[in-house]
Amino acid sequence: MLPSLRAELQNAASPEKAKIYQRFFKTGKGQYGEGDIFLGITVPETRKIAKKYVELSFSDIVELLKSKIHEERLIALLLLIEKYKKSDNIEKERIINFYLSNTKYVNNWDLVDLSAHQLLGSFIENKDKSVLVKLAKSENLWERRIAIIATYHFIKSEQYAETFKIAEILIEDKHDLIQKAVGWMLREVGKRSLYAEEDFLKQHYKKMPRTMLRYSIERFDAEKRYNYLKSEDG
């Protein structure tokens, strides 16, 4: 099945889109996605192909995840999520241990955003969540992003404590991909409880990088956004 899947990906490839993705995902020397190779396939197209290969073996999925080609890693994560949903608790633990042992391959923001909450967040919902703190303190950019995005699973159930805990750890992170992720998760909290988000912001917004603050208050009305940004400047 793996050769057939790879052939489908190659057939769906678009050199024109690949060039755009190479720039969009910052694959140049010294950039966060340095060396990432794109075929130029959209996420909906990748999902469509993935649906045909839901029975792909775990060993083949592992091979895809370790690929240098971005879309192969993307489809590996899509398939891991499908396998996780259908697994018993023992197999779910195996999948999560594998995921955590191979975060170096979950190495672009779209790969993190697709997988962290659906895999790690789901798995630890009723378990010890200290792994998030460990990831949030990692020197690895993608592990830090996994930590905060994993909490999206809890946000959807209107549980915000873990999001706030990880946000506090990352509150002064220098990387814009972390600043954007934290701001995004705080904004997601605000969609469900504006009170909870503002309670957190009132305590921490003066320490936040401007990008993080802007993302977190994006849905506020113009006057309220202005007041937060003005107070930060002051």
- Give the per-residue pLDDT at 210: 93
Question: pLDDT confidence of 190, banded at 50, 70, 90?
Answer: very high
- Tens digit of each residue's pLDDT (9 = 90 or more) over 24-58: 999 989 999 999 999 999 999 999 999 999 999 99
**Residue 232, pLDDT above cutoff 90:** no
pLDDT tens-digit series, residues 74-105: 999 999 999 999 999 999 999 999 999 999 99
Mean pLDDT across the chain, nearest whole number?
95
Condensed to tens digits (0 to 9), the pLDDT of residues 135-182 reads 999 999 999 999 999 999 999 999 999 999 999 999 999 999 999 999
Looking at residue 144, its pLDDT comes to: 98
Q: Which of 8-22, 181-195, 219-233 has the lowest mean pLDDT?
A: 219-233
188 alpha-carbon distance from chain centroid: 14
Whether 1-106 and 116-234 share one fold: the answer is yes
Confidence of residue 198 (pLDDT cuts 50, 70, 90): very high
Cα(first)–Cα(last) distance of the chain, in Å?
Answer: 60
Q: How confident is the model at residue 201 (pLDDT cuts 50, 70, 90)?
A: very high
pLDDT exceeds 90 at position 231: no
Concatenated DSSP letters for 54-86? TT--HHHHHHHHT-SBHHHHHHHHHHHHHHHHT
List the domain boundaries for the chain. 1-106, 116-234
Q: How confident is the model at residue 228 (pLDDT cuts 50, 70, 90)?
A: confident
Residue 79's pLDDT is what?
96
Q: How far apart are CA 198 and CA 218, in angstroms?
A: 13
* CB neighbour list of residue 73: distance below 8 Å, 6 or more residues apart: 64, 65, 67, 105, 106, 107, 111
Please give the Cα distance from 93 to 98 (Å, whole number).
Answer: 8
What gap in Å lies between CA 54 and CA 45, rounded to an integer? 15
73 within 8 A of 111, measured Cβ to Cβ: yes
CATH 1.25.10.90 fits 116-234, yes or no: yes
Architecture of domain 1-106: Alpha Horseshoe (1.25)
